[in-house]
Structure 1
Amino acid sequence: MRTALRPIVAACVAATALAGGAHAAEAATKIPTGFLTYENASARSAVEFGETRWKVSDARTAQLLVNPCGARKTADAGRVAARTVTSSGDNDAGNDEQLVLYRSEALARQAMKGIRDALATCKGASDAARTVRRGQAASIGDEALRVIVQSTLAEGPGGGERSVVARRGSALIIYRVHTTYDPAKTGFRRADFKRQEKDAKALAGKVCGLPGVC
């Protein structure tokens, strides 16, 4: 009887070890409080547009801030942690930040590919606001993009976004500014991306301090 029980006991021990390993892995990928730039009041004060409201969310299912086609559901897979900081202020202007951690570098690369594919699919200006969507390679982390999503209505300045999305290891980093832009100026002006690039480079340097990211 004792011999017959050995395989069962061994299986139980193995299952317990696997469960413990899974919990340990999940704990290891938790994003520390205050890790993102705009969780901190001093950084917020430098970018606030008048009266500004901030929100911090750890929802792993949050849509990526760079969402060229306006998809309702996330298309990426394998997230283990996420944090999104969003703001809204006067004239609906705001400065947003997002960090998403994936189970592997391959899954993070796939998420970047999904953004590129969406830009290619929805690059035209076929909607009512005549929105253009453009991407341009940037030198941040392992791979990065500058992204424009911009209304080109001729009546006057329209709502738009200037974002930088970067991958470092198994982490995806996004910084986005949304405000009004001249509809005639939808090119990649460096001044429109200066802050986002600076912030993305800083966070790309920090994420390798998180277990398993790099």
Structure 2
Amino acid sequence: MVSIVVLTAALALGIPGGFMLYEKDAAKSDPNPEHSWQVSGRTSARLVVNPCQKATLGRAGRTAAKTLIYTAVPDYSKSEQVILYSSRSAAKKAVRDLRAAVRACGSADYRYSYRPVRLGDEAVSVTGQAYQSKKPAIGGERAVVTRRANALIVYTVSGEWGKPAAADFKQQSKDTKRMLSKICRIADC
């Protein structure tokens, strides 16, 4: 009975202010017009890893979401996204749909791939990479998408990447581990 009360309270709270890892950075004033933060608490926000650019990818069953996106000119961005779903099965479906989108979308000039990662209940690292004449070109994105219970945790970095390498996911994995250590405060773990 106590766990139901705690779960209900956590779901009612959603994602509290100050919970995200980069929230303090996003709140700082930066006069440089080439740097900006976007912060959203909308449950309808796009999944920040979205190979097919579908507005509805991973949206079904969301009860709360918070998205932080940092952009710096010319071609660098990073994002943090935490999404709570109404159930574990809804969160599992979001990961399954993301894997399907990775397999289905992309082109000869920009390709996506994913690999399983040992984080949370299930996780994948997603690589988006520009190609020129079948060789990796400059430009791409690297993401770690992790599910723990009914929560989805996403960290991305986009920029002037070259050939994909395991080290490209170092910061995203580190951030994911930090978030996993506290996600059960708001998720149904």
What's the TM-score, normalizing by structure 1?
0.75
Which residue of structure 2 lines up, in the alignment, with residue 16 of structure 1?
none
Larger RCO: 1 or 2 (CA < 8 Å, sep 6+):
2
Relative to structure 1, is the Cα distance of residues 27 and 139 closer, same or farther in structure 2, using a 3 angstrom cutoff? closer
What SS class does the counterpart of residue 84 from structure 2 fall into?
Answer: strand
Which residue of structure 2 lines up, in the alignment, with residue 125 of structure 1?
107
Which residue of structure 2 lines up, in the alignment, with residue 3 of structure 1?
none
Cα offsets for 1:119-174 (capped at 9, x unmatched): 1222x534xxx111000000111000000011113599432100000000100000
What's the CA shift for 1:52? 2.1
**Residue type of the alignment partner of 2:112:** R
Which residue of structure 2 lines up, in the alignment, with residue 7 of structure 1?
none
Which residue of structure 2 lines up, in the alignment, with residue 97 of structure 1?
80
What SS class does the counterpart of residue 98 from structure 2 fall into?
Answer: helix
Which residue of structure 2 lines up, in the alignment, with residue 191 of structure 1?
167
**Residue type of the alignment partner of 1:58:** G
Which residue of structure 1 lines up, in the alignment, with residue 177 of structure 2?
201
What SS class does the counterpart of residue 202 from structure 1 fall into?
Answer: helix
Answering whether residue 41 of structure 2 is matched by residue 65 of structure 1, we say: no
**Residue type of the alignment partner of 2:36:** R
Which residue of structure 2 lines up, in the alignment, with residue 141 of structure 1?
120
2:132 and 2:55 map into 1 onto residues whose CA distance is 24
What's the CA shift for 1:54? 0.9
8 A contact 1:102–1:170 mirrored in 2 = yes
Unaligned runs of 5+ in 1: 1-20, 45-49
Relative to structure 1, is the Cα distance of residues 70 and 87 closer, same or farther in structure 2, using a 3 angstrom cutoff? same
What's the TM-score, normalizing by structure 2?
0.85
What SS class does the counterpart of residue 22 from structure 2 fall into?
Answer: helix
1:51 and 1:156 map into 2 onto residues whose CA distance is 27
Please give the residue correspondences for 1:29-40 in structure 2 after superposition, counting only pairs within 5 Å: 29-40=13-24
8 A contact 2:76–2:160 mirrored in 1 = yes
**Residue type of the alignment partner of 1:204:** L
Please give the residue correspondences for 1:6-25 in structure 2 after superposition, counting only pairs within 5 Å: none
Q: CA RMSD in A?
A: 2.7
8 A contact 2:90–2:150 mirrored in 1 = yes
What SS class does the counterpart of residue 140 from structure 1 fall into?
Answer: coil
8 A contact 1:62–1:74 mirrored in 2 = no
Relative to structure 1, is the Cα distance of residues 153 and 100 closer, same or farther in structure 2, using a 3 angstrom cutoff? same
Q: As a proportion of its length, which structure holds more strand?
A: 2
Q: Which runs of 4+ in 1 moved over 6 A?
A: none
Which residue of structure 2 lines up, in the alignment, with residue 8 of structure 1?
none
8 A contact 2:144–2:172 mirrored in 1 = yes
Cα offsets for 1:4-40 (capped at 9, x unmatched): xxxxxxxxxxxxxxxxx9xx66862411101011102
| Paired positions, count | 179
What's the CA shift for 1:113? 0.5
Relative to structure 1, is the Cα distance of residues 81 and 157 closer, same or farther in structure 2, using a 3 angstrom cutoff? same
Relative to structure 1, is the Cα distance of residues 194 and 75 closer, same or farther in structure 2, using a 3 angstrom cutoff? closer
